[in-house]
Amino acid sequence: MGYGEFTAVRRLPGKDLQTPKERRMVKPFICIQSDFDTQGGAPSCMHGIILSVDPELRIYDLSHQIPRFQPWAASWTLSYVMPCWPVGTIFVSVVDPGVGGPRRAAAAKTADGYYIISPDNGSLTHVKSEPGIAEVREIDEKTNRRPGTEQFNTFHGRDIFAYTAARLASGIIGYEQTGPAYPVDTIVSYPLPPPLIIPGCARGIIVSANTHFGTVVSDIRIGGFEQAGFVYGDRTLVEILHEGTVVFKGTVLYHRSFGSVPVGDPVIYNGSTGHIYLSLNQASFVEKYKIGAGSGWQIEFRRS
């Protein structure tokens, strides 16, 4: 890749927007997510290694509060955040409960031109589904591992993923030099059954259970919800099941947003990712009903 494929546009002092040649010379951003939290030094170590490779690189933290040991959450967050960034951005995603084991260290190139440096452990699931992964390579640790760390088995986020991302972003290596390619269809993925959309009913899975605001995010797109016949003002029967066991069942208003219902009441609304969301007004639906996310969490909406 070098940095010739990055298409970010920024202003230079005393100039209008950069020329195409100047834009091509901008090095890609590096955007990091992990489940490390920020209380320890792990995120800072990753920043330091990247800047040690090339102090001109620009690093941004997507989040270090991804739920611990949950590649599914890492996968969904990547798919949600990635389209907001300039094409060519390199994402380092480290939620790696199998670190030191047989899982592959991957460098993936998406169909729309982003790069992901990540363990191949399910963290690529949603991006593989949409927009798709054009190519994936197994990182060659002989050339793309921080020297002197060969005996360290548990901080690949620093010693392999951040280090490889820095070498790629700086132009020291091209994408093909990250390691040998392997078949995209062998990428480890969680099952993503398509939503069921029929008149008066939409059924899917919960892709995210936000722990901060307590929002439930379904995989049902707004267009599919409308296709099923739902309109603002509908009193909608909602049922949530975990592995076949009902954990919530009730009638909920479908409307524009939280202000459509009293404080503490549930509401269904069109979320910022283009999917159907379920929340409590100024309270946590996730906490109150102990909701999780993944292919084992089913959600169904029926017009009452």
Beta partners for 94?
34
Domain ranges of the chain: 20-186, 196-303
Q: What is the pLDDT of residues 143-194, one digit of tens each?
A: 999 999 999 999 999 999 999 999 999 999 999 999 999 999 999 999 999 9
Q: What is the pTM of this model?
A: 0.89
CATH class assigned to 20-186: alpha beta
Burial classification of residue 291, based on how many CB atoms lie within 10 Å of its CB (0-12 exposed, 13-18 middle, 19 or more buried): buried
Q: Residue 151 phi/psi, 5° resolution?
A: -95, 0
| The residue type at 289 | Y
Q: What is the pLDDT of residues 205-235, one digit of tens each?
A: 999 999 899 999 999 999 999 999 999 999 9
CATH class assigned to 196-303: mainly beta
Q: What is the pLDDT of residues 7-54, one digit of tens each?
A: 443 333 334 444 555 445 689 999 999 999 998 999 999 999 999 999
Radius of gyration for the alpha carbons in the chain, expressed in angstroms and rounded: 21
Q: Give the Cβ contact number of residue 86 at 10 Å.
A: 16
Cα–Cα dist 290/304, whole Å: 25
